[in-house]
Amino acid sequence: MAQRLAAVVHGAVQGVGFRYYCALQARALGLQGYVHNRADRRVEVVAEGPRAQLEQLLSWLYEGPSMAQVSSVEVSWLAANGEFDCFEVRH
């Protein structure tokens, strides 16, 4: 059964390849959704798929790519609604 992970990543997470590497990770896990740089310098991630794969993505979000400095992650678990057919980087 698919679920939805909605996360907002805080810290030095823009300008360090966070969106690119997040998308690679999510696609490798077979997830659908998006990653987006917010105007407030945080990164928003919405992903749908099996809970186990979403938890793997969430673990990655706490680390990010090597140049990132993640200070915290806001997490919400919701019911999936199937609106995505891939995982994309939104601009």
Catalytic positions, written as ranges: 19, 37
Give the angle 65-66-69 at the CA atoms, nearest 5°: 85
Is residue 45 within 8 A of residue 22, CB to CB? The reply is yes
For residue 61, how many C-alpha atoms fall within 13 Å in the half-sphere facing its CB?
25
Give the chain's length. Answer: 91
d(CA 33, CA 46): 5
